[in-house]
Amino acid sequence: MDLSIYFEEAAQVSVAFIIGAVIGLEREFRSKPAGFRTMILICVGSCLYTILSKEADNASGDRIASNIVTGIGFIGAGVIFKEGITVNGLTTAAIIWVTAALGMAIGYHNYPLAIVVSVMVVIALFVLEPVQRFINRFHKVKDYRIRTVSTGDIFKKEIEVFFATNSMTYRCMKIVKENKDAVYLYRISSPDRNYDIVNNYLLHHKEVKSFEF
């Protein structure tokens, strides 16, 4: 029995543990669904499956890899959820996918590639996040989902007059009736990107039950 092989494999799993922990720290810090322990388990598990696939005599490496990707897809889908008109969890799902790929790379002894990609992931998560916030400040279009207690046309006329008065361009994307409420979906573009006045208007409007954007 060659103990060096077992030490080598233990080292691979340990590296996967460290990389998964580094990526998981960022998710845990931001209180995301897949956090510290989840990323460790994903990276270590992918690495272990890859190691075992190389040791199996009758197993195809590409088939094992494709099954890992399929399994990770189910985990990634579990963290994506739709809340109103927004979709959350896409970044976490992508990180799960990349973390599994890093574990597979370590399992195949491709340490340089795993390290380079890990650095890229850390930069994307920690460094580019303020850049994304800065870019978001220049967004001129927002989608509003507004629920009102009235199903008549009075509110629609009022809010469109408000948009026009404040030099906003708008488009009514959809109007639906849910129970006894009317739900309006508006796409609004403000030239000065000041949407606080819209929020305040909706907050104090007596017919608005709720709104989200």
- Do 101 and 148 belong together in one domain? no
- Do 75 and 97 belong together in one domain? yes
CA Rg value for the chain: 25
Least confidently predicted of 77-91, 107-121, 153-167: 77-91
Distance CA 209, CA 150 (A): 10
Q: Count of CB atoms within 10 A of residue 126's CB?
A: 12
First-to-last C-alpha distance (Å) of the chain: 62
Query: Considering 136, 158, 189, which residue would you say is the last residue of a domain?
Result: 136
- Do 126 and 145 belong together in one domain? no
Show the tokens assigned to 196.
Answer: 């606080």
Output the average pLDDT for the chain.
Answer: 85
Q: Domain range for residue 158?
A: 141-212
Secondary element (H or E) of residue 177 = strand 169-178
pLDDT score of 85: 56
Query: Considering 136, 157, 187, which residue would you say is the last residue of a domain?
Result: 136
Residue 118 pLDDT greater than 80, yes or no: yes
Q: Kind of pairing, strands 81-83 and 208-212?
A: unpaired
Band of pLDDT at residue 84, cut at 50, 70 and 90: low
Half-sphere exposure of 20 (CA within 13 A, CB side): 29
- Do 50 and 145 belong together in one domain? no
Show the tokens assigned to 17.
Answer: 């543990």
Residue 114 pLDDT greater than 80, yes or no: yes
**pTM score, whole prediction:** 0.69
Query: Considering 112, 136, 160, which residue would you say is the last residue of a domain?
Result: 136
Higher pLDDT, 56 or 173: 173
- Do 146 and 66 belong together in one domain? no
CATH number at residue 161: 3.30.70.260
**40 near 96, Cβ under 8 Å?**
no
Question: Phi and psi dihedrals of 165, rounded to 5?
Answer: -65, -35
Question: Phi and psi dihedrals of 202, rounded to 5?
Answer: -70, -35
Show the tokens assigned to 72.
Answer: 């990770």
- Do 101 and 165 belong together in one domain? no
Residue 43 pLDDT greater than 60, yes or no: yes
Residue 34 pLDDT greater than 60, yes or no: yes
Residue 105 pLDDT greater than 90, yes or no: yes
Band of pLDDT at residue 54, cut at 50, 70 and 90: confident
Residue 7 pLDDT greater than 90, yes or no: no
Least confidently predicted of 143-147, 191-195, 208-212: 191-195
- Do 11 and 37 belong together in one domain? yes
- Split into its structural domains, the chain has a count of 2
Distance CA 209, CA 179 (A): 13
- Do 159 and 123 belong together in one domain? no
- Do 163 and 176 belong together in one domain? yes
Q: What's the rounded mean pLDDT across residues 124-150? A: 80
CA 110 from centroid of its chain's CA atoms: 27
Band of pLDDT at residue 119, cut at 50, 70 and 90: very high
